[in-house]
Amino acid sequence: MITEADNDNANDGPMVFIIIAKGYEAEGSEGVDLHILMSAPDEDTAVREALNALSEEGFLEADLDQIGVLMGTPEEEPHASAYQGALQGEVSIIRFG
């Protein structure tokens, strides 16, 4: 496991991931745009936690489009609250549309 950053983007705090996805609640349904925030030690764990949380919320399928690490605290809602939840160990799912 890599424990140090391999570039100049060292992260001093916890790693809070954001995953941009589309979730499907029923077969053949139109997808819901989602942002999923969680704290995790690595990308693989973040993806597993996101998929588990989506399953618990009733999503049958999900297309995960992008994953990244937030480099600071978001200032605007609903991401600011979701970020705080992620720092407390929650997986936050933000729905759009």
Beta-strand pair 32-39/92-96: antiparallel
Output phi, psi for 71, to 5 deg. -95, 0
Which DSSP helix (H) or strand (E) runs through 85? Answer: helix 79-87
Question: Under a CB-based contact definition with an 8 Å cutoff, are residues 67 and 10 in contact?
Answer: no
**Stated pTM of the model:** 0.85
> Could you read off the pLDDT of 30-75 as tens digits, one per residue?
999 999 999 999 999 999 999 999 999 999 999 999 999 999 999 9
Sign for the pseudo-dihedral over CA of 20, 33, 64, 38: positive
Cis peptide before 14 (omega within 30 of 0): no
Residue 12: pLDDT over 80 = no
